Amino acid sequence: MAFKTIDALPAKGQRVLLRADLNVPVKDGRITDRTRIERLCPTIAELAHKGARVVVLSHFDRPKGKRVPEMSLKPMQEALAAALHRPVAWCDDCVGDAAEAAVAALPEGGVLLLENTRFHAGEEKNDPAMAAALAKLGDAFVNDAFSAAHRAHASTEGVARLLPAYAGRLMEAELKALDAALGNPARPVVAIVGGAKVSTKLELLGNLCSKVDVLVIGGAMANTFLAAQGHGMGKSLQEAEMHETARQILEQAKAANCEILLPVDLVVAEEFRPNPPTRTVGVDDVPENMMALDVGPETEAMLEARLRTASTLVWNGPLGAFETTPFDAATVAAAQTVAALTQSGALKSIAGGGDTVAALRHAGVLERMSYVSTAGGAFLEWLEGKELPGVAALG
């Protein structure tokens, strides 16, 4: 899609409303992962350097339109200032007199963080009055929160209709990476889709069948597909009510000339816990008292062969129960193969989704992929082929 970037924004002296995603993990009042904050810094720093007055908007958690002290963005002020190496002013509201006064006091090159947009009920309702109150604070709007772009809220979609709107550097990078993944990819394209349930990724699987050349199905989802084909899966996690749907997806893929790659061997155990006794068995030989928790070495080798012939990879979801050893083996092996191919220039690799990011970090390859999206729901909805309101508003 066509969208304007901050290259087209005459920043000097402008009040720039910057929609960020500072909805970062916090435990006992401490930020446990600053990735989203760090990724936001290039856009803020560039705008400030050009003389803009940067006004940062974000939501945090789910206060449901009420002021909840423990859901304040105040702790992000210090973290953002530390990441930017510059002062960040604070206002304890995001609209109204206090916010207007705080913006008016901001010098050129200054940065201001406003309080949680979801403290107002009008945010999630995309109330025009809320969007208008936000628009009063700025001369231009920059969206750098792809991870919130699937929500038509006042601070993501509403205000973008009222001010000149631009994509920030993070949004720009995300959209270009996604276009390279499925919009106009180098072929062949391989997609890896893992996770627990077919039912949560039906639209994703349906869309990918028509977009990719090879669709690799892993995780407990693969158990459902194998069971649907008549393989006994013992005590494995699988969705019996999704068998007919799984068969329909296989037929849909066949009609679209998309190869589906399912496991040919599995790592099984009697119980799901760290380092239990395991066996590697063929898909026809899962014992009744055991469960499949990872794919086996033959499947790994098959996947590696497909990856070596691919030009583009899209990855959403692990191949096994990677959080628990030794059921991380296949995911780690695949991740290291992907990273090596990416680094050699043979493969463009785009990955996203919470479990996928965690799995790539666990494998030590997060920084060696072409692009890793930290956007969970937005990344998934984009892969499903849905229009994202926050992105559409930039067009």
Which residues are catalytically annotated? 36, 197, 354, 377
Q: Where are the beta strands (DSSP E) in the chain?
A: 15-19, 26-27, 30-31, 53-57, 89-91, 111-114, 140-143, 165-167, 189-193, 214-217, 259-261, 265-269, 278-282, 291-295, 312-316, 348-352, 371-373
CA distance 149 to 394: 10
The CB-side HSE value for 269 (13 A sphere, CA atoms) comes to 17
CA distance 194 to 355: 9
For residues 44 and 111, the answer to whether their CB atoms sit within 8 Å is yes
Closest CA to 219 of 199, 198, 205, 241: 198
The CA-CA-CA angle for residues 86, 92, 97, to 5°, reads: 110
Closest CA to 142 of 1, 3, 35, 2: 3
What tokens appear for 257 in the block?
Answer: 């000339």
Provide φ and ψ at 280, rounded to 5°.
-105, 125
Which residue carries 């990677």 as its tokens? 322
CA distance 114 to 74: 9
Closest CA to 315 of 294, 296, 334: 334
What single-letter DSSP state applies at residue 156?
A: I
CA distances from 362 to 273, 277, 285, 366 (A): 18, 22, 30, 8
Closest CA to 306 of 184, 215, 368, 183: 215
CA distances from 266 to 7, 230, 250, 279, 335 (A): 51, 16, 20, 8, 18
Q: Where are the beta strands (DSSP E) in 236-347?
A: 259-261, 265-269, 278-282, 291-295, 312-316
What single-letter DSSP state applies at residue 106?
A: P
